[in-house]
Structure formats: C-alpha cells, structure tokens
Chains A and B, each alone.
Chain A
Amino acid sequence: MDDDYSSGSVDADREMTRLWRTWRTVFEMLQDRGYEVTEEEVQISLGEFKHKYSDPLGYPDRNKMKIQARPTEAMQAKYTALKTNSNPDPQPDCGTIYVEFCPDSTGVGTKQVRTFNHFVDENNFHTGVFITQTPISPSAVRLLSGVPGRICEHFQEQDLLVNITRHELVPKHVLLSPEEKARLLQRYRLKESQLPRIQVSDPVARYLGLRRGQVVKIIRRSETAGRYASYRWVI
C-alpha cells in the first residue's frame, strides 16, 4: 500500500516535471516569436509551477493551463506588409495568440479539435496553438489547418520537452520584415524564388510559426568568416 502510494507520487512528479519543461519551452517560443511575456513567466520555477497547476493528487491539471499573449510593437512591425498604392495603410497580420493543453491522454480526434477551433474563432484569437500528449489523427490535422482566416498550430508535448533552438548545432533564425526582405532582394537583385528555401514544416519554422512567403535570415558561426548569414524563403 505504502509502495503503491509512493510509486503514484513518483509518476505524478515525473509527469509534472515533464510538463513544466514543455510549459517553459512554450513561453520561450512565445518570447522568440515576439509576444508580450514577462520574464517571471518564462523563468517559472518547478515549485511554483507545481503549486499553480497541479490537482490535489499531484498530477498536472491541464484544464488550467491556458495562455494568451499579445504581440509586441516590434512583432507587429515585422508582420505589417509594405505600403502599396492599393493598400496605403496595411494592418499587421498578427494578433493575440492562444495556447491550450489538451487534457485527454489518448485518442485526440476531430471532436477536441473542433471544440478548440470553435473556441479560437469565438474569442477572435488570431493564432491558436493546440498541444496534445499523443499524436492527433490525420483528419484532425486537416481540420486544424482548415480554419479560414485563423492560424491553428499543433504540437505534441514531447516535441517541446526541450527547446530545439537552444541546441548548439541549431543556428539562429531571424525573421525578416517585409521591408528587410525587399531590401535584401534589391541588394542582391534577386527574385524571392531565387533564394534557397525552408519548409513550413521544418522544426525551427514550426517553432517560429513562419508562414509561406516569409524570409528568414540564418546566422551561423564560421571558422573563417566569423559569422555567416544565409537566407531562406519559406515555402
């Protein structure tokens, strides 16, 4: 009996720790994308996280784990298209992001995704991030990506256990604003289709929430040149 109890609490502890790491990665991701998050939120300690988001048994309570964040000024500037004659006052193409952790431990299908889509749509969030414990079914993926006018992304908890962009072999990816992109293309006299490419499904592109048509600058360390920048067109 005593053994059972302790093994249960060890289980709960392990799950809590794993979820804490995912939680921190989510906040780092929001910060890297340019949303307004405070330093305390990003640096939340395990004790505090346990205190806030565990149920009486010590297991994580995912229903409480919902995040909303607004984009910063800098991010809004980055997501504003260039002025054109037909559109002299372009609006930034970004807005409040909403992150939800799915409490179901097995079999996440269209039902949960539909509820999530509905919630995102109803509350007028620009972007939704749906985080599940298990892979979701193919039709659910299709449903998630098919919301008109909104961007819904999906991650698995284990994908965010470690922050891949903090790995030493992953170079720094910086999103270029439309102005910077135009300047780059002018500087090298290129069409954007002449740039090297990166897929939207690339892990770093998913982390940064890149969209088709954007350009990222990838800064690598180079033994000979010190720093070496290359550019990728997101397709």
Chain B
Amino acid sequence: MSTSRSNLKTSLPSAHAASTQSQSNMRHVPPNSNVSRQPERQPPNKPGADPRHLAIALHHAHRIQAQKDTESLILDRILELVTFPSSPSADPASPSPEDAQTFKSALIPFQPADYDNLIQERNIEGLCGYGLCPHEHRKDDSRGTYRITWGAKGSGPGGRGREMNIVPREKLEMWCSDECAERALYIRVQLAEEPVWERRADNARGKNLLLLEEGRTVTQRGKGKAATVGEVTGQLANFHMSGTPGSSNLAGDMSKLSVRDGAHFHELALERGDANPALRAGRVDIQIQENENLPFERVTAPEMRPGDDKGGSIEGYVPQEF
C-alpha cells in the first residue's frame, strides 16, 4: 500500500482517500472477474456479505453435493449389481470378460461397507453374495446360530487330522460355496477404505481390481512358474480394457483422474470445487519468508577463555571474588 501511495503524484487528500479505499477493496476481492462482480449484485441492505465467505460457503456446498451425488451413484450401482450376472448359466470361476469388466468398473467407487451392503442385498434376493455368481446362496434349515466346518484332510494342527472352525450361520449363508466366499472377499480387500470424494488422483488402490482367478495367474507368473502365452495375452488384453475410457463412464472418469497434464488437472480441480478463485491461495494466507544473508560462520568447538576456570562471566558480569 505504501508503494501505491508513493506512486500517486498528488497531494490532494481526497485522492489519497480514494486510492486507499480502492486498495482495501482490492485486498478482499480475489483476482477473478466473476467474483469481483459479486459485490455489485449484492443487495445494498446486506453489506456484511463478504464475497470470500460466499465463495467458501459455495465451495463447501458443492463438496456436500458431490458427496450426495456419489452416494446415490453407489446406490444405483448396488441396485444394478443385485441381479448380476445377466445369464443364469454364468460360471463364477470363469466369468465372461464383459461381465467381469462391468463388475470391476462398477465397484471402483465402493468402500468395503458399500460392498457389504451389496452382499446383503444379494442375499435378500436369494443370490450368492459374490457379484459374478448366479447361484442361490446356501440355506440351512436347521436352527442354531453357529456351524462347525471341517477342513480338508491333513489341514489340522501339525498336519494331522482336520481343521475345525466354528462359523456363525449368517456368514456361511452369504455364499453358495467356499470358493465364491474366497472370490468375493478377495475383491473386498482390494477396495479402497476412504470414500471416493476423498481419494487422491494418484492413488491406484481400488482402481485396478483383480478377480481371484486373475490374481492367481499373476502370482503364478511372479513365482516364475510357466504361464502360457495365451494367459499372458489375456491378462494384457484385460489391462488394456481397463485403460480405455470408453469401456464405462466411470472407468473413463477414473482413468482421466490419473492423468496429470494441465487440462485434466484443471478439469478435476473444477469438478472438486478446488478451482474456486477464493481458495486458489488456500483458506489461510500463508507467506513463507526465507531468511537470507544469514551470517555464515564456522562452527567450532567451545574453547577455554581466560577466566573460565573461575566460572567465567554471566552475560558479561564477572562475579567478584571475596
């Protein structure tokens, strides 16, 4: 402000007053045309409405709205996946590529809790909890809240006998078979814990979901076991498909998120409401000031100075000896 005042080549006090007036206005208004227009639109009986506050309120309102939209999107996805897969003869062990792709792309915005809701919803419909399985879930007519399950021969402690597990009945009745339970839970552990509106663009977790069968082939390859050429190309094809933006709306959006070039970054910021001019510099005005020209001295170990043997001086005061 002092610089602008010195720029003013006049001694008229009114001119100075006008210039400080405009300066103080400028300080509140972020350098963007559409927001700086807002004070004019404001009714004169509301002088307290600060455009910056308004912008922040709008920013938060947009965030809440986006959150609500995502929740309804997830609900729609759950309703879609309740009656999945479309053909009753589909094999959960080797689902058709389209089904698997749809399933995986639909699950991208899910949190584990949403996935649990999906399983519950499918069970209410009478289906196995695994989204790619068309069979009915197990039903046990006998009463009792717990079941005893026996493992394969030689699975017990010390490799002898059978492993025994006591399982709540609801857990058993979620699935059509143990294989499907494994497949479904394999997906569940890959889902991202944080809600989709808080995820970072570069966080790959929860975006490249693998079905159990795909995961097995990948680990086999990693161990150096022989993987046939067909399997590998199949995997590659799968990966390519997950990369194409046209495969599904959301998959496209998600792949866009990972691109860090300027246009997409700006688009993403706009979508999130971060592009808000009032918040471009953050909500708190932070100015980092580095101290330069610090006197550079060699640091040396402390040495004995004269008089130190008697205690030395205390901030320049040397105690007297009596």
Residues of A within 8 A of B (CB): 107-111, 114, 137-140, 142-143, 146
Contact = CB atoms under 8 A, between A and B. Distances in A.
Interface stretch (B13-21, B74-82, B182-190, B270-278): B74-82
B121 A109 contact: yes
Contacts of B118: 139
Contacts of B71: 142
Q: Is the interface of B mostly helix, strand, loop or mixed?
A: helix
A47 to B, nearest CB: 34
Contacts of B72: 146
A-B residue pairs, 7 tightest by C-beta: A109-B124, A107-B124, A139-B117, A139-B78, A137-B120, A138-B117, A109-B121
A195 to B, nearest CB: 22
28 contacts: A107-B123, A107-B124, A108-B124, A109-B82, A109-B120, A109-B121, A109-B124, A109-B125, A110-B78, A110-B79, A110-B82, A110-B121, A111-B124, A137-B117, A137-B120, A137-B121, A137-B124, A138-B117, A139-B75, A139-B79, A139-B117, A139-B118, A139-B120, A139-B121, A142-B75, A143-B75, A146-B72, A146-B75
Nearest to B114: A139
A110 to B, nearest CB: 6
A142 B79 CA distance: 12
A76 to B, nearest CB: 31
Q: Is the interface of A mostly helix, strand, loop or mixed?
A: helix
A108 B120 CA distance: 10
Given A107-B123, A109-B82, A142-B71, 8 more contacts: A109-B121, A110-B121, A137-B124, A138-B117, A138-B120, A139-B78, A139-B117, A139-B118
Contacts of B82: 109-110
Contacts of A146: 72, 75
A205 to B, nearest CB: 22
A142 B78 CA distance: 12
Interface string B74-118: 010011001000000000000000000000000000000000011
B83 to A, nearest CB: 9
A137 B118 CA distance: 10
Contacts of B75: 139, 142-143, 146
Nearest to A146: B72
Nearest to A107: B124
